[in-house]
Copies of this chain bind each other. A is one copy, B any other.
Amino acid sequence: MAWYQVKGNDADTVFSSRIRFARNLTGYRFDKGLSEQDAGAIIERIGTALGEDYVKTDMQLLSPTKTEALVEQHVISRDFAAKKGPHALYRNDNKSLSVMALEEDHIRLQCILPGLALQDAYRFACECDDRLDAALDIAYDEQLGYLTHCPTNLGTGMRASVMLFLPALRAAGMIASLSHQLSKLGLTMRGLYGEGSEPSGCLYQVSNQVTLGCSEEEILRKLEEAVRSIIENERRLRGSLSAEAADRRADRIHRAEGTLRHATMISSQEFFSLYTDLKLGIALGEITSITDEALNTLLISILPATLSEHTGDAPKNAAARDKQRAAFIKKALGVSEQ
Contact = CB atoms under 8 A, between A and B. Distances in A.
Interface of A: 244, 247-248, 250-251, 254-255, 257-265, 286-289, 319, 323, 326, 338
A244 B250 CA distance: 33
A58 B267 CA distance: 57
B247 A288 contact: no
Contacts of A338: 286-289
B286 A247 contact: no
Nearest to A266: B251
A257 B265 contact: no
A264 B288 contact: no
A128 B258 CA distance: 47
Contacts of A288: 338
B262 A258 contact: yes
B248 A255 contact: no
A241 to B, nearest CB: 14
A323 B247 contact: yes
Nearest to A243: B319
A254 B250 contact: no
Contacts of A262: 254-255, 257-258, 261
A44 to B, nearest CB: 50
A316 to B, nearest CB: 12
A287 B262 CA distance: 11
Closest 3 A-B residue pairs measured CB to CB? A258-B262, A258-B258, A251-B265
A178 B319 CA distance: 33
Contacts of A261: 258, 262
